[in-house]
Amino acid sequence: MNKNLFSLDIIADQFLNYLIVEKGVSKKTIESYSSDLARYFKFLKKSGIESVSATDTPVILKHLIALRNEGLGSRSRARHLVTLRTFYKFMVQEKMLKNDPSRVVDLPKIGLKIPDILSVEDVTSVLNAPDASKPIGARDAAMLELLYAAGLRVSELVNMKLLNINMEACFIKVFGKGSKERIIPIGFYAKEKVDYYIKTARPILLKKVVSRYLFVARAGKPMTRQGFWKLLKRYAGQAGIYRKITPHTLRHSFASHLLERGADLRAVQVMLGHVDISTTQIYTHVAREHLKNMHKKYHPRG
């Protein structure tokens, strides 16, 4: 069956009839499902997507992000996901699709929660807050830039070793949860700030002490996670941003900004280092060069 947007209208009618006849749902519920599907189909058309498939997981996630950006609350987004889950399950049941792409999208009991993020403008303001003319400011500027450029966890940032960054190739090597290694590209801004820090500020901060850590605090030791958290909060205040911001806010912003600009979800997941057996189908091997091109093309500061 050709599942283009025209036939989707027919499939939607079949789906709604199924809910009425076989499931016996209320008129109010039918209206909600119908409204949610219409909004989803409109999103597909706007995105230039002319079909649905068993690999629609990235499409569903982008739709939920779009709903959030339109101001839809978490409970309403949760309802949308329930509608899409029921719809795709119906299509599998009717053998229109082999697999259900919505089943790997999480729905917490308290409702769908998509993390808060900063706008690109707010991120830029925070990243530009440190005074890079001073050694500590140059270090802080490099740390903030790298955190956002690579979507790092704070523990990955503060524990990064000097030998884990390749300035020439613009890649960093990260050891995440479970000591799993991943390679992440970094953009121009991060390369410039980290390079400046290494050549000018780091030797001054070390005071002839030898350290294997990239970012150093007292006596060549790495900064603590709590120390970086306080640092970030201070610079956010200097940038005029007073709502709660954590290092993970920049990690979420990294992922959301890439996805909103059209980056491939699988590439973003590889860069984030997410590994979950329940979402295996949306994790694929992504070549380093592809990651680098993806980062350069879609990252706001790539």
- Residues identified as active-site: 153, 177, 248, 251, 274, 283
Q: What's the CA gap between 56 and 231, in Å, rounded?
A: 40
Handedness of CA 215, 221, 223, 225 (dihedral sign): positive
- Return d(Cα 2, Cα 218) in angstroms, integer: 65
Question: CA Rg, the chain, in Å?
Answer: 23
Task: With CA atoms as reference, report the closest residue to 22 among 89, 80, 121, 101.
Answer: 89
Q: At residue 104, what is the residue type?
A: V
Cβ neighbors of 39 (< 8 A, separation 6 or more) are: 67, 80
